Chain A
Amino acid sequence: MSTRPSLKLLNYHGVPIWRNVVFIRLAMQALAALVVISIIWLLATNLMDNAEKRGLNLSFRLLSTNAGFDVPYSLIPYDSSNSILYAFMAGVANTLRLVGIAMITTTVLGILIGLARLSSNFVISGLAKVYVEIMRNIPLITFAFFLVFGLLAGLPKTSEAWHLPGIGSMSNRGIFLTSVDESSSLTPWLVIVLVGVVAAYLLHRLYLKNRGELRLFGIRLNRGFTPIVLLILVAAVGWIAQPDAPFVFDQPELKGTNFVGGMKLTTELFAILTALTVYIASYVAEIVRGSVQSVPKGQVEAAKALGLNYWQVTMNVVLPQAARIAVLPMIGQWVNLTKGSALAMVVGYAEVFVVARTAIEKTGMAIQIFVMVIAFYMIMGAIFSLLGNWYNRKVQFEGR
């Protein structure tokens, strides 16, 4: 660092004021701040003018009025008599559902395709490469458009839906799965299972006491296995002993042209989920490939020299090291996923941005609702960035 001049601003050893470093720094920052503030002030006065002229409502009070519009396929219970703020929250919940599912599917598919690209099988690695090259090189929104039209046309009507007996069916109204619902006997069964867990734990303690040796009728019982068997036995007895099963399977049934009952995954959610998964997975695949290839060859060779087989080398040597490199870019892709979810507008899935637009149409409060939308995405971004920082710190402490 160079020596700092003192704050004797006006005359420092004959240096004129505009050459005084301290002053220049202060002045530059002050001027920049002034420019920014005056721009903001100008914009704000314009907004106030426009609001006055055309009778805009700039308060947040209207958010508590009745929404009067539907949030289709809402995750939280919702009907149109709820407030607009609640509708917005329903949109947020829908976004979280979409992002939550997509994070899992994207990661799994991405890893599979990344490994396929590394495969020595020409057909598989070739297919994976074609997949990655096509997906990475078209815009997500074009793909989403394409997909929603393709899905609607490609999937059968409900009357000709594809059935998988006992599990569910698929049509262009979505995927309907047999759902598992609780029955009245769930609570007693859970109590019985809890008892089983306690018994298994006690058995485990007993093993520890007897130095891992337990015999029943002279037969030596396996140490890891027996507590689990005990637990399963208790649970099974609890299941059978009660008049009805603790879970009820609710199978979707075709009524008219709609399925009733069961679990539903609408075409809209399916479309945006597929679009995001298929698209982002191509990036994840590249991350996986890059991080696996970045594991030094010497490591693999050393592991092989120790006599580990291919599977052991992959699971115990390559993947742990690759994962450390891959996690940060992976979180970056999850952020991309969150932002990409706004494109659900194209397919008609009611996530936060779609609900926001509907609410704006209904109330005309564009500015207030946009503030809320941006705040939501900022919070999501902050959460992911905290996650990234936390992981980074953890890895650094362990690694170096």
Chain B
Amino acid sequence: MTEPTTSSELRPVEDQSFATWVKVNLFSPWYNSVLTVVGAVMVILLLKVAIPFLLTAQWAAVTTNIQILLVGQYPSEELWRVGAGVLPMPFIVGAAWGVWGSMMRTFSVILIVASVLTVISSFFGDSMTPGFVLWFAVSPVLVLLGYTVGRRSFIGPRHVLIGWFLFLMLTLFLLRGFGEDSAMPYVSTSRWGGLLVTILIAQVGIAIVLPLGIVLALARQSNLWFFKAAALVYIEILRATPLLALLFLMLIVSPMFLPDITTPDRLMLAFIAIVMNNSAYMAENIRGGLQSVSKGQIEAAEALGMRGRHVTLFIILPQAIRATIPAIVGQFIILFKDTAVIALVGLLDLLGAAYAIILGQDAWRTADLEVFLFVAAVYWIFTYGMSSVSAGVEKRMRAGAD
């Protein structure tokens, strides 16, 4: 997190016993005392409402449906493929922790803590199948394993990124399966769901949105009028349209524009909508970076006889991307949160699963708060992890700039 730069820093260092700290920080001018009291009352009121609710809530709505919430409608007998396919992820996170250090620490620690808590909570109820428990028990070990690997000097950021990409492809193949008769029968994407889909869309989206954004930003800056105009129209339309409207357009309306013989893959359509929306923003972020590269750099490169293409690729782009890394990471976080909207077009992602449970299952029609609280907590864990990475990146960049 960023350091405070307000008046507290300007104060000379003094005797910091607890009493003086409290006095200076909480009660020094009279209005500060009022604020402190108001704040404390708010906290107490909140806890007074929250604690009894948390203790008496129908958590069984979540635990009995944990399978839909985590993997959606993926066939029960094929669940090992999900487990195996997603297993490299904690390892990659751990490796990233090892390579990038403190930047990834919070994210890794959050993953470990969440997994351990899940395992512990499984002792209190028997609704979780052993496979799930095993997965959550193994993943912290994998994070630590990845960390030790990542610490080795011959592993660099490049290896982690390539490894992540390869593992992602592997995961997708494993989840999709091959033929009807093979050991891993084909599982249509209409059965993928829950947290699995949320995470997959986010990861694949991140892998695609950045290059697409770069291409769009370059096209926007291009002096070929058609590419420029096309990029401009694309970016402006998509930036103005709410993702929800775009999703409806893609999933509900776009089949009207396709011939009858096609059966559009709805998950793919939703994915395309999310990528389209986010790539337009990404293009604008990167365009800002492109504009921030000083003209002198370009002129110097041209003076050295570099060709236009090479100037763009080796001089402008690296600097532009470096300058916009915080914005890029911020966009990734937005992309992850955006995935929740696909619940409204009938897909069974984490939020969609929650909705299906509350509305569809007769027994849990009154357990809405519990299920939504669980869903919000899961989103929070991941997004907070990503935010901490983003904060780390910003900190590192500021340190580099000074």
What's the Cα separation between A53 and B341 when bound, in Å? 33
Closest residue of chain B to A117 (Cβ to Cβ) is B4
Contact A141 B351 (CB under 8 A): yes
What's the Cα separation between A41 and B23 when bound, in Å? 73
Whether, in the assembled complex, A184 has its beta carbon less than 8 Å from a beta carbon of chain B, the answer is no
B residues 337-366 in Cβ contact with A at 8 Å: 337-341, 343-344, 351, 355
Contact A137 B379 (CB under 8 A): yes
Interface stretch, picked from A146-154, A160-168, A226-234, A260-268, is A146-154
B residues 368-399 in Cβ contact with A at 8 Å: 368-369, 372-373, 375-376, 379-380, 383-384, 387
Whether, in the assembled complex, A378 has its beta carbon less than 8 Å from a beta carbon of chain B, the answer is yes
Residues of B within 8 A of A342 (CB): 242, 244-245
What's the Cα separation between A199 and B156 when bound, in Å? 79
Residues of B within 8 A of A25 (CB): 224
Residues of A within 8 A of B340 (CB): 139, 141-142
A residues 339-369 in Cβ contact with B at 8 Å: 339-343, 345-346, 353, 366-367
Residues of B within 8 A of A118 (CB): 4, 6
Residues of A within 8 A of B227 (CB): 29, 32
Whether, in the assembled complex, A120 has its beta carbon less than 8 Å from a beta carbon of chain B, the answer is yes
Whether, in the assembled complex, B249 has its beta carbon less than 8 Å from a beta carbon of chain A, the answer is yes
Q: Which of B243, B259, B379 touches A142 (beta carbons < 8 Å)?
A: B379
Whether, in the assembled complex, A122 has its beta carbon less than 8 Å from a beta carbon of chain B, the answer is yes
Contact B351 A47 (CB under 8 A): no
How far, in Å, is A152 (CB) from chain B's closest CB?
10
A-B contact pairs, 21 of them (CB 8 A): A2-B308, A25-B224, A32-B230, A46-B258, A50-B256, A120-B28, A122-B26, A123-B40, A138-B337, A138-B376, A139-B340, A139-B341, A142-B376, A149-B369, A293-B2, A293-B5, A346-B344, A367-B253, A377-B245, A381-B240, A382-B240
Residues of B within 8 A of A134 (CB): 380
Whether, in the assembled complex, B8 has its beta carbon less than 8 Å from a beta carbon of chain A, the answer is yes
Whether, in the assembled complex, B20 has its beta carbon less than 8 Å from a beta carbon of chain A, the answer is no
How far, in Å, is B4 (CB) from chain A's closest CB?
8
Contact B376 A339 (CB under 8 A): no
What's the Cα separation between A382 and B4 when bound, in Å? 37
What's the Cα separation between A49 and B32 when bound, in Å? 70
Whether, in the assembled complex, A380 has its beta carbon less than 8 Å from a beta carbon of chain B, the answer is yes
- Which secondary structure dominates where chain B touches chain A? helix
What's the Cα separation between A49 and B42 when bound, in Å? 62
Closest residue of chain A to B243 (Cβ to Cβ) is A339
Which interface residue of B244, B253, B375 has the most chain A CB atoms within 10 A? B244
Residues of A within 8 A of B (CB): 2, 25, 28-29, 32-33, 36, 43-44, 46-47, 49-50, 53, 56, 118-127, 133-134, 136-143, 145-146, 149-150, 153, 293, 297, 310, 335, 338-343, 345-346, 353, 366-367, 370, 373-374, 377-378, 380-382
- Which secondary structure dominates where chain A touches chain B? helix
What's the Cα separation between A2 and B301 when bound, in Å? 13
How far, in Å, is A40 (CB) from chain B's closest CB?
10
How far, in Å, is A358 (CB) from chain B's closest CB?
13
| Contacts between chains A and B (CB distance < 8 A), count | 155
Q: A134-B380, A370-B249 are in contact. List 13 more A-B contacts (CB 8 A).
A: A32-B227, A53-B260, A119-B35, A121-B39, A125-B4, A126-B39, A137-B380, A141-B340, A339-B240, A345-B244, A353-B245, A373-B245, A374-B241
Contact B242 A120 (CB under 8 A): no
How far, in Å, is B278 (CB) from chain A's closest CB?
13
How far, in Å, is B63 (CB) from chain A's closest CB?
19
Contact B8 A378 (CB under 8 A): no
Contact A377 B242 (CB under 8 A): yes
Contact B35 A121 (CB under 8 A): yes
**Chain B 97-127 interface 0/1 with A at a Cβ cutoff of 8 Å (1 = within):** 0000000000000000000000000000000
Contact A49 B259 (CB under 8 A): yes
Contact B237 A120 (CB under 8 A): no
* A47-B256, A141-B340, A377-B240 as given contacts; A123 in contact with B39, CB under 8 Å: yes
Residues of A within 8 A of B40 (CB): 123
* A143-B376, A366-B252 as given contacts; A43 in contact with B257, CB under 8 Å: yes
Closest residue of chain B to A343 (Cβ to Cβ) is B244
Contact A142 B249 (CB under 8 A): no
